[in-house]
Structure 1
Amino acid sequence: MPDLIRPEGPEADDFRFSRRALATGGLGGLFFAGYAPAALAAQASPVTTDTSGLTAENVTYSAPDGFQLPAYVARPEGDGPFPVVVVVSEIFGVHEYIRDVCRRLAKAGYAAVAPAFFVRVEDPAGAEMARVQQIVAAAGYEQVMGDVAATLDWASQQLWANAEKVGITGWCWGGKVVWQAAARFATIDAGVAWYGRLAPSAEATPEQISSGQPWPVDLADDLKAPVLGLYGEADRGIPLTSVEAMRSGLQRAGQTDSEIVVYPGAPHGFHADYRDSYRAADAADGWAKLLAFFEARLKG
């Protein structure tokens, strides 16, 4: 299986589809029960995090358009209140990788909430890539920001949540959403963006440029919270020129608390432990940086 090389997801021809999905126990019902088969590497041994000492559940709450938005929630057992982290998925939605990330955050003392942004159309987790692309394309900026707003509002009403300490993190498609949300919501205190696209590609059509707005490179002045960006030097979908453009924008805007880290030789998806693109050392270092970034801003 080739790496996922495009930040918003590959084209259908990039894949020889695998039908292997790892079964998972526990919470079923609302979400696909395993790892997205379109990207699962045959030799993958994903990180698995149990629910010992945690409360993990599927919930729903109302989005601004009236849709009952599903989300996966993992938090430490007990009354809290715990700082909240919104977890924004890659193009495959809330499959097992994203749920495990939520449990990892919960083990670190956070209440992690992963909304299912795509399921108004269909859960993309079990779909073939051509269909995944269609599903993801239907989730426009205003819908996604509305879903983030609904998540923040719902979390603020939970007795176990510390609504004064809120972070957001996301991967691939979700990495871009992190930058956008940090520019939109004053209630967010910190963001960590994993290889989210920063600018349109050089080959992008005017329609693609327009549909992707607002682009992170245009949002540096609007950031209301510091963002840590984690990127791969060998990411063929996010050229280093766009990374440097973002760095320059942050510098011009005086966003001295924001930072971008580039991992030498790392491809797109280097944190995705169920893919061929996984790079264990870089993933571990990025995770340690995420925890330190959130610790300083959400637990102080």
Structure 2
Amino acid sequence: MNDTSAAARAAQRGITQQEIDQRVFDLYDEYCHGRIDRREFLARAAAIAVAGGSGLAMAQALLPSYARAQTISFTDARLKGSYVTYPSPGGNSGTMRGYLVQPAGSGPFPAVLVVHENRGLNPYIEDVARRLAVEGFLALAPDGLYPLGGYPGNDDDGRELQAKLDQAKLRADLLNGARFLKAHALSTKKLGVTGFCYGGGIVNYLAATLGGELQAGVPYYGVAADTASAANIRAPLLCHLAEHDERINATYPAFEAALKAAGVSYQIHVYPGTQHGFHNDSTPRYDEAAAKLSWQRTLSHFKTHLA
């Protein structure tokens, strides 16, 4: 059988995280962060000799299946979701769009901004916003790609579009989203922010930029903020890191030292055996135990500091 046939069989039966060679995970990380394209990712994975399996099958198994990531329906009676636009001065187009989800009831509610990865507002991030809403939070998930037409329906194109944006203006767009949400009529004016991968780095950036305007931050495997800005942080931080994520983790020792020096309240949890992206349940990088534990900690952090 050729690698393509092996990949098809693997897709049918499903490949677990434990079956995927670390070299394939490392290539996927390169691909996810735009350092190689999809074709090169699959070609280089196919060249990996794996006992009892196929490097190509493993690579294809890592590509997202967003049907797996929907845990809360769009029509769930516990929430109401809608797409909203709002002004974004200094951003890429002057206007932004996001997915706003409110819990059932009249509010007001504590508010949480949800920041996407480096590919726009995909279904997984929308589901995270709904997960927060059913826990009693007003959640806004901005689509940084809105100035270019919005999330295009697949991650490859989304990643390319996000790379084309003026990155400083994209950060302004996300900062404006935080301020729009905090000021929203349904908000208690208590603001938290969480984000994943690129979005995790934005959490750290927003914590330093917003200062006392932010009440809690939860970055998931996001690059640390510049150490010089740590003294501006006022919000307690809860940082989730994967064990096998050398590039991101290398940014934290200096950041942690700066947080300590500035007297910032923080926790850093490194989840054993996990890969970058372990919370994202659309691919085999998902680690159920770590995802559930980190999410419990996230909810507790927000409920404590946004009360």
TM-score by length of 2: 0.76
- Where do residues 244-263 of structure 1 align in structure 2 (5 Å cutoff)? 244-255=253-264, 257-263=265-271
Q: Please report how far the alpha carbon of residue 247 of structure 1 lies from its aligned counterpart in structure 2 after TM superposition.
A: 1.8
Give, in whole Å, the separation in 1 of the partners of 2:230 and 2:184: 32
Deviations 1:136-163 (A, max 9, x none): 2234453233223432343344322112
Distance 1:147 1:267, change over 3 A: same
Determine if contact 1:195/1:230 at 8 Å carries over to the other structure.
yes
Is 1:274 aligned to residue 303 of structure 2?
Answer: no
Aligned pairs (5 A) from 1:57-68: 57-65=82-90, 67-68=94-95
User: How far off its partner does 1:119 sit?
Assistant: 2.5
For 1:196-231, what per-residue CA distance to the aligned partner results, in whole angstroms no more than 9, with x for missing partners?
Answer: 123xxxxxxxxxxxxxxxx44443222131211100
Q: Tell me what 1:49 maps to.
A: 72
**TM-score by structure 1 length?**
0.78
Give the superposition deviation at 1:125: 4.7
Identity of aligned residues (%): 31
After TM superposition, list the pairs within 5 Å mapping 1:1-300 onto structure 2.
2-3=24-25, 4-6=28-30, 8-13=33-38, 15-16=41-42, 40-41=63-64, 45-50=68-73, 51-65=76-90, 67-127=94-154, 129=156, 131-163=157-189, 165-185=190-210, 186-198=212-224, 215-238=225-248, 240-255=249-264, 257-299=265-307
The answer to whether the 8 A contact 1:57-1:73 is kept is yes
- Alpha-carbon offset, residue 76 of structure 1: 0.5
Aligned length: 260
Q: Which amino acid aligns with 2:262?
A: A
Q: Any gaps of 5 or more consecutive residues in structure 1?
A: 18-36, 199-214
Task: Tell me, in whole angstroms, the C-alpha distance in 2 between the residues paired with 1:148 and 1:121.
Answer: 15
Q: What do the CA deviations read for 1:108-143 (whole angstroms, capped 9, x no partner)?
A: 1000001111232343553463x5444222344532
Distance 2:159 2:123 in 1: 19
Distance change in 2, residues 1:236/1:122 (3 Å): farther
SS at 1:275 equivalent: coil
1:116 and 1:109, CA in 2 relative to 1: closer, same or farther beyond 3 A?
same
> As a proportion of its length, which structure holds more helix?
2
User: Is 2:196–2:221's contact at 8 Å kept on the other side of the alignment?
Assistant: yes
Kept after mapping to 2: 8 A contact 1:63/1:150: yes
Indicate conservation of the 8 Å contact 2:194/2:218, yes or no.
yes
Q: Aligned partners of 1:125, 1:285: CA distance in 2, in Å?
A: 32
C-alpha distance after superposition, 1:155-187 (max 9, x if no partner)? 344322112x00000000000000000111131
SS in 1 for 2:126: helix
Q: What amino acid is the match of 2:207?
A: A
Q: What's the C-alpha RMSD, in Å, of the aligned pairs?
A: 2.7
**Bigger-Rg structure (1/2):** 2
Q: Is the 8 A contact 1:38 1:126 kept in 2?
A: no
Q: What amino acid maps onto 1:49 in structure 2?
A: I
